[in-house]
Structure 1
Amino acid sequence: MANVPSRSNLFDDFFKEFAPGFFIKPLHGDPLPSASQIRIDVSESDAAYTVLAEVPGVGKEDIHVSIDGSVVTLRAEVKQQDKRAEGEKVLRSERYYGAVSRSFQLPQDIDQSAAKAKYDNGVLILTLPKKQASGSQRLTIE
């Protein structure tokens, strides 16, 4: 499909030509970020995977990580705090409220009991130890 301008872009473009740099639209919130906007870096060592995920502007209590075998799911709840002084009106607000999540699969199962998470300056750092594959076991025949 051809590039179809969104409603907000169409009006922004119109008013830029009409009154460049002057118009401020009174809308509340833009769409939530897509899952691909939680950017991640994954590295691997012999014993573990390390995941760095960008989750800026979210409190660590609002980040949830779940592990199911080799599938890791990151979920972040973004909360907007509306504070207005009496007599003040909002001309534009681009912050939003909602949740965004992203799941990805690693090549090997994760040892959930030894997994660790740390959040520092908008970056979530996951240390995900690999589950040791149980080797084959020879059964004794009775």
Structure 2
Amino acid sequence: MSSLIPRGGSLLDEFFKDVAPGFYVRPLHGDGLPSPAQIKVDVKESDGGFTVHAEVPGVAKEDIHVSLEGNVVSLRAEVRQHDQQTDGEKVLRSERYFGQVARSFALPADVDASQAKAKYDNGVLTLTLPKKQASNAQRLHIE
């Protein structure tokens, strides 16, 4: 005899799947850990260099790490979220989320890392990355 109820879940599970999709996997505070694709970046180029704006909301500036190697920019952020709600002495809910997100991308020219600057304000990381000046090439006289 076959079952009328699909295996793998109860009718109540099916109800919540239709009414509130993701009810069981979505954190109660609304945001899970961000994925690397969630670090949104805008890159602008000028004659002298590049300006990068990266959205890293909710992360302390001490937990953001930027590395430069040639023309590759790497961003890494450690995400720490701690939510706690209390009613008197009884904890009703306590959630903790920890993790890292990272993103790397290549620029069309090498960056002068010694002159690069970073600023973090209101969840936006701004990188000012001057282009590395071409070495003083000398023309050799052919004898």
Distance 2:120 2:32 in 1: 25
CA RMSD of aligned residues (A): 3.1
Name the residue aligned to 1:88. Answer: 91
Name the residue aligned to 2:63. Answer: 62
Unpaired segments ≥5 residues, structure 1:
1-10
Larger proportion of strand: 2
Say which one has the larger Rg. 2
Q: Return the offset for 1:136.
A: 2.3
Where in structure 1 do 4 or more consecutive aligned residues deviate above 6 Å? none
Asked if residue 37 in structure 1 is aligned to residue 38 in structure 2, the reply is yes
- Give per-residue Cα distances to partners, 1:62-102, cap 9 Å, x unaligned: 100000000000001011225454312228x5x62111000
What aligned pairs does 1:1-142 form with structure 2 within 5 A after superposition? Answer: 14-15=15-16, 17=18, 25=24, 32-83=33-84, 85=86, 86-90=89-93, 93=95, 96-139=97-140
Query: With CA pairs under 8 Å and 6+ residues apart, which has the higher RCO, 1 or 2?
Result: 1
TM-score, with length taken from structure 2: 0.73
TM-score, with length taken from structure 1: 0.73
Number of aligned residue pairs: 126
Flag the 1:38–1:88 CA change in 2: closer, same or farther, 3 A: same
